Amino acid sequence: GLSTTWILDGMDETSTLISIDNDETLLSIAKENLGVDRRLTLICTDGADWIKRNAGQKYSFIFADTWPGKYLLLDEVLDMVEKGGIYIIDDMLPQANWPTGHAEKATDLISYLDSRDDIILTKMGWATGIIIITKR
């Protein structure tokens, strides 16, 4: 996935970054290494709950690495991307560790994204398969 350090390096002083995870251990590593950066907010919560609580908010960049932001609440998350904003997902190329049926889910997701006329998407056959979307 994208490194939080890399994202922070590319942000200006007025930018903010919210990183959400349901694993406090992972967040504690980020806090230890990046916690002094006032632009970073780390939140330990369920991703789906956070998305539901923050519906209506707009963001210029969303990286959706897990189920809530890619599959479970996709329309809600895409609605959170501001016009001209970027939405990135990974793991779109077949993976050896995918459970039975997941390949079809990924294929269906890509087909659905292709069908939307409010986004422009670029599929990258790179790494685990990255899709970069810009909101029209």
Written as six digits, the tokens of 9 are: 């390096």
Edge-to-edge, what's the strand order for the sheet holding 130-135?
59-64, 81-89, 130-135, 119-124
Opening angle at CA 14, ends 39 and 119, nearest 5: 95
Opening angle at CA 76, ends 72 and 79, nearest 5: 145
* Residue 23 in this model has a pLDDT that exceeds 60: yes
Q: Residue 135: its pLDDT value, please? A: 96
pLDDT digits (tens, 9 = 90+) for 84-128: 999 999 999 999 999 999 999 999 999 999 999 999 999 998 888
Q: Which of 3, 1, 42 is nearest to 24 (CA)?
A: 42
Q: Which of 52, 94, 92 is nearest to 73 (CA)?
A: 52
**Residue type, position 42, single letter:** L
* Residue 71 in this model has a pLDDT that exceeds 90: yes
Written as six digits, the tokens of 61 are: 């960049």
Q: Which of 6, 32, 33, 30 is nearest to 19 (CA)?
A: 30
